[in-house]
Amino acid sequence: MKRRYTVLALVAGVHATAGLIVLAQSQNASQAAAGANKGGTATPQGTGAGPFVTQFQSKSLEPDIQHGAVIAAQGTAAGAPACAQCHAYNGVSDASGAFPRIAGQSRSYLAEQLRDFASGARNNAFMTPIAKALSAQDMADVAAYYASTNAPTLPLKPPQAALVKAGETLATVGNAQRQIQSCNNCHGPGGAGQRPAIPYLEGQYANYTTFTLREWQRGYRKNSPDQMAVQAKKLNDQEIAAVSAYYQQVASPVKVAEAQPKE
């Protein structure tokens, strides 16, 4: 007796069984599918899915990168200054680290930050008034522009090797005693980011990373209360300095090892 199975291992393995891993004889599966079509009820806009779908799909504006570039270079008529003044036209900002590197950052992440600056979910004396002067379309455009830039990482003087090492441990492994998980869990290997929601950290200026971790600690950033605020509050000053240093140099053309030869 030979039976042929089609394995519909859709929700994969799914331990504890959410999983529809179901086996069905392929014939029967096909028949059911055919039956469903015959019934005529399985149309794309079937019972109520039409208006309902619109209600749940988030509005996404079609971005105009050219217009975003103009905003970056010149600002807007409504009074937003040129982004390039601080972030540079290619998004590398400057080596002071007073402003984050935004070149090639996720479009969706950048747009969300602009919305959050405007709403106050992210409170910043510089960025909040600027974001308020941007329309929703402006935000989408300028976010798309900076997401599209591909700028080099500046050759900065490498931080202390010991600091980088401590930062690397936190970034890749975490700290079991203090229940700190690795930053890379969410921010990706080497802080490469996980698009679209999670920003990259690689090559970010240490001063900026330190500054923004403090913003999380002190409640100036409220746009990830259950994740980043919780994580940042676990870190002490040493640890903040360490992870900041680590991520700055991880994408740098100048390596720690080169500057400070091994003993």
Smallest gap from Cβ 139 to another protein, in A, equals 22
Q: Does 52 bind another protein (CB under 8 A)?
A: yes
Q: Does 62 bind another protein (CB under 8 A)?
A: no
Smallest gap from Cβ 42 to another protein, in A, equals 5
Among 96, 185, 238, 260, binds another protein (CB under 8 A): 185
The DSSP-derived string for 142-207 is HHHHHHH---PPP-PPPPPHHHHHHHHHHHHT-BTTTTBPPTHHHH-GGG--BTTTB---TT--HH
Nearer to another protein, 37 or 96 (CB): 37
Smallest gap from Cβ 170 to another protein, in A, equals 10
- Mapped onto helix, strand or coil, the DSSP state of residue 162 is helix
Return the bridge partners of 5, or none. Answer: 25
Q: Does 180 bind another protein (CB under 8 A)?
A: yes
Q: Does 33 bind another protein (CB under 8 A)?
A: yes
139-178 footprint of another protein as x/- string (CB under 8 A):
---------------------------------xxxxx--
Q: Give the separation between CA 205 and CA 97, rounded to whole angstroms.
A: 5
Q: Does 219 bind another protein (CB under 8 A)?
A: no
User: Is the separation of the CB atoms in 107 and 147 below 8 Å?
Assistant: yes
Query: Between vectors from CA 243 to CA 120 and to CA 206, what angle results, nearest 5°?
Result: 65
- Mapped onto helix, strand or coil, the DSSP state of residue 22 is strand
Q: Which residues bind another protein (CB under 8 A)?
A: 5-26, 29-30, 32-33, 36-37, 39, 41-50, 52-53, 56-57, 172-176, 179-182, 184-186, 188-189, 226-227, 230
